[in-house]
């Protein structure tokens, strides 16, 4: 075969490859659209509205941004398939690897206590399902979230990306140490309980910033604390008793 006789076949192969790439991109786009469509069905939308009205506003949450986020973020897309029917119930749910997604009210009040504004940055220690990060992102916050359990962190990152939460930045690592190269943070939210307040997190909190963190023993009642950094000093306020999974290091040892 002469050299010039190969061109039609080469062109055909290139066209076929281009079509394949376009088809792949199209499937990815359709997947994202499908994810949103599945998350926005009438059944779940109605459950979400009832949850926000009864469990959130009904318990005294008044921050308009928090209420709007709780009415918008599709909580059922952040839980395992077998738990979707329970996603808007008034309680925590298992998400695998011994971890849980917090009760909707706890997510709401911790978000309200942060008192952050659109455009500010928040460090989240304990990505878990990714739901808390999504709520903060829906409030216009730039979120940096760390998860020590790699499979959970990877799954949350995929979910957040598929649903379009572009202001959430994820990392697999030890949240006790924070995220120094992105500090200081206007707010820090901790969704696992250490036995003491991590000093690296205090250092990474901006002046006039707030930290919401559960502190206490691995088993038993912990205290949800609100910390404020004022003139370089930390002021503490006890909110109420809670129960969170423990904060652990990479070896599973509690802090």
Element (H, E) at 211: strand 205-215
Spatial CA neighbour of 236 closest among 221, 246, 224, 245: 224
Q: Give me Rg for the CA atoms of the chain.
A: 22
Q: Are 233 and 207 in contact (CB under 8 A)?
A: no
| Residue 251: C-alpha distances to residues 16, 21, 173 (Å) | 49, 42, 12
Tokens 């928040």 — which residue? 122
Instruction: Judge whether 111 counts as a catalytic residue.
Output: no
Q: Can you tell me the distance from the alpha carbon of 49 to that of 55, in angstroms, rounded to the nearest whole number?
A: 10
> Tokens representing 88?
């808007």
User: 140 — phi, psi (to 5°)?
Assistant: 90, 15
Catalytic residue among 102, 111, 121, 129: 102
Please give the positions annotated as active site. 102
């Amino acid at each position: 075969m002469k050299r010039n006789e190969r061109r039609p076949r080469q062109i055909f192969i290139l066209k076929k490859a281009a079509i394949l790439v376009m088809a792949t991109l199209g499937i990815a786009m359709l997947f994202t659209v499908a994810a949103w469509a599945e998350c926005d069905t009438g059944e779940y939308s109605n459950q979400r509205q009832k949850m926000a009205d009864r469990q959130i506003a009904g318990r005294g949450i008044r921050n308009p941004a928090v209420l709007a986020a709780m009415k918008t973020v599709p909580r059922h897309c952040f839980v395992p398939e077998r738990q979707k029917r329970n996603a808007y119930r008034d309680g925590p749910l298992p998400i695998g690897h011994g971890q849980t997604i917090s009760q909707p009210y706890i997510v709401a009040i911790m978000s309200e206590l942060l008192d952050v504004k659109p455009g500010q940055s928040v460090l989240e220690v304990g990505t878990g399902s990714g739901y808390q990060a999504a709520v903060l992102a829906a409030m216009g916050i730039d979120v940096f979230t760390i998860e020590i359990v790699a499979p959970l962190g990877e799954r949350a990152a995929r979910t957040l990306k598929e649903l379009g939460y572009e202001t959430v930045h994820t990392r697999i690592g030890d949240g006790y140490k924070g995220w120094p190269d992105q500090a200081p943070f206007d707010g820090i939210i901790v969704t696992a309980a250490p036995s003491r307040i991590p000093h690296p997190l205090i250092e990474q909190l901006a002046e006039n910033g707030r930290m919401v963190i559960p502190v206490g023993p691995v088993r038993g009642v912990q205290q949800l604390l609100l910390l404020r950094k004022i003139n370089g000093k930390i002021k503490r306020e006890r909110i109420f008793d809670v129960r969170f999974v423990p904060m652990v290091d990479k070896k599973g040892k509690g802090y």
